[in-house]
Amino acid sequence: MTLVKSKTELIGNGVSTADILRIKREYFSAEINCLNIVAVGALAPWHGYERMIYGLARYYGRDEVSCDVKFTIVGNGEVLGVWKNLARTLDIESQVLFVGSKFGSELDEIFEDSHIAVSSLGLHKIGLASASTLKSREYLARGLPIVCVDDIDFGDWPRFAFKCQNNTSAIDVESIVNWYTYEIAKQVLPEQIRNFAIENLDIRVKASKIID
C-alpha cells in the first residue's frame, strides 16, 4: 500500500472588493478636531468592543488628552445593552455613540466621517489565537486603517493595522491616537490600503491559491 501525503495550506477569508466602496478622501489629515473610530457588526461578545470602551475611559481619565476621540458602534445585538450600560457606568456616554443598524448610503456616510475602523477584539472568547475576519477585510477595502488582533494574512504586518493583544485588556487609546497622527496621517493613503485588500484579500486571489 502506498501512502499519499496531502498538502494543505491555511487560507484566510476573502471579500469581493469590487462590491465595496472606497472612502472618497484621498489622504488622512492630522489636522482634525476629533478622531472618529467606528465599529460595525451584529454585536456579539467576541467583538470585544468593551475593550475600546474601557480604553476610552482610561484615556479620558487623564488630566489632559491630546485629541478628542469618539467611538461609534453601528449595529444591534445581544451585548448592545451591556455596552451601553458600561459606557454609562464609566461616564463616557458622550464619547461612545450607539447608532443602531445602518445600511447603504447611511453606512457609507459613517465610513466617510471615520478615520479608523475596529475589527473583532474578543476572539479569545471563542478560542481563536489569530483571526481572518471579514470585518477587517471589508474595512481595508473601504480604505480605512484598522485596529485588530493577529491576522493570518498579515505576515509582514502592514503599517495601517494597529495590532492589539488577543485578551481582555483595555485598548491603549493614546497609542492609537499617536499611531494615527504619526504613522497614518499624510503618510498612508486610502488608495494604498484598498490596493492591499485587492491584491491580498480579494476572494478571487484566495480562489486562485486553491485552483493553482
Taking only the tens place, the pLDDT of each residue in 17-39 is 999 999 999 999 988 889 999 99
**Which residues does residue 117 pair with via DSSP β-bridges, in sequence order?**
38, 146
Residue entry with cell 465595496: 20
pLDDT at 9: 55
* Domains, the chain: 31-202 (3.40.50.2000)
Mean pLDDT of 65-81: 97
Tell me the per-residue pLDDT of 83-136, one tens digit each, with 9 for 90 and over. Answer: 999 999 999 999 999 999 999 999 999 999 999 999 999 999 999 888 889 999
Query: Percent of the chain having pLDDT more than 70?
Result: 92
Please, are residues 53 and 90 in contact by the beta-carbon 8 Å criterion?
yes
The structure's pTM equals 0.91
